[in-house]
Amino acid sequence: MSPRGRAADAQRGGAERRPGATLAETQRWLVRLIAAPAGVRRGLEELGDPRGEALAGMVRGDPELSAERRLEVYADAYFRRLRDVLAQDYGALRAALGGEWFHDLATAYLWARPPRHPSLRYAGARLPAWLGADPRALPFRRRFPWAADLARLEWALVDAFDAADAPELPREALAALPLERWPELRLELPPSLQLLELDWDVLPLRRAFDAGAPPEPTPPGPAASRVCVWRSGERVLHRGVDRVEARALAGALRGEPFGSLCEAIAAELGEALAPARAAALLEAWCRDGWIARLG
């Protein structure tokens, strides 16, 4: 079977005990071989069984299909299944990196951060942090410095898809509130809502992907941007927010009362402009379904 990517070649596992008599040893040995990033053959070499003798002593082979070939069926299925899941969760990232680089990225990530959660849904959960900070992800960061930000955006969309449900407060409920209650009022935001502070302008890449268009030929530039991701009903949505809105939204996410949000807005815009902007933001948040309840 073919090697699984240049990035993975540099990554070797430590010595592992040969298969012993116990179920635990057998299973750990097989896991190491099935998940070996450069294939079962390289895995056997790294585990000190280059001729596959220990494997043949454990897994039955026959003239038509050796023990190694039988294990490769599981190894190939492992990488194909997980790469498909990552490609689905990180569709724009895959489109922007291209198939070969994404393949290498997925292989290196799976080796560094193998799936631990019972559900495939979470297999890609650690990709943004790994891509953004792990030394083993350096080749990808050098080539695609914006990729970790795009991964963060796409994982936020995944999380929003099945975040806990929340009601959307009707506009009339806001209008009915007496003025004196506003300063102490806390806006409860839906659990799906996430505010991302990004260093690269990656939103156009995701928009192009959503529209079925090819990624922009020019890579994203460095530009501080803020994106809000949320779900309204069954639709996962995202939009850019400016600095003032982001500051107020961050306060609301921390559970600060509306009076504090207004002070934050005033610190950005000045006392004169703050009330109108606060009112406009409240209107927009209500329209977008960002207010679940008032507390």
Partner 1 sequence: MGVGLRPVHYPEVLARAPAGLLRVDWFEALSENYLVPGGRPPRALAQLRSSAPIALHGVSLNVGSADPLDEAYLAALQELVDRIEPAWISDHLCWTGAGGHNLHDLLPLPYTEEAIAHVVERVRRVQERLRRRIALENVSSYLSFTADLVPEWEFLAAVAEAADCGILLDVNNVFVSAHNHGFDPVKYLDAIPADRVFQIHLAGHCEQGPLLLDTHDHPVRDEVWALFEHAVRRLGPVSTLIEWDDRIPEYDRLEAEALRARELLAGACGGPT
- Interface residues toward partner 1, by CB under 8 A: 22-24, 26-28, 30-31, 34-35, 57-60, 64-65, 67, 70-71, 73-74, 77-78, 81-82, 114-121, 123, 161-166, 191-192, 231, 234
Nearer to partner 1, 118 or 135 (CB): 118
Gap between the Cα atoms of 260 and 61, Å rounded = 70
Nearer to partner 1, 28 or 136 (CB): 28
Gap between the Cα atoms of 39 and 212, Å rounded = 34
Please report how close the Cβ of residue 165 comes to partner 1 at its closest, in angstroms: 4
Tokens of 127: 């990709």
Nearer to partner 1, 36 or 198 (CB): 36
Element (H, E) at 2: none
Please report how close the Cβ of residue 71 comes to partner 1 at its closest, in angstroms: 6
Dihedral (CA of 174, 175, 178, 180) sign: positive
Please report how close the Cβ of residue 225 comes to partner 1 at its closest, in angstroms: 26
Please report how close the Cβ of residue 140 comes to partner 1 at its closest, in angstroms: 22
Nearer to partner 1, 49 or 245 (CB): 49
Dihedral (CA of 87, 89, 94, 95) sign: positive
> Rounded to whole angstroms, what are the CA distances from 171 to 35, 167, 176, 186?
53, 12, 9, 16
Please report how close the Cβ of residue 219 comes to partner 1 at its closest, in angstroms: 32
Tokens of 221: 């530039």
Amino acid symbol at 106: A
Gap between the Cα atoms of 184 and 178, Å rounded = 12
Nearer to partner 1, 149 or 154 (CB): 154
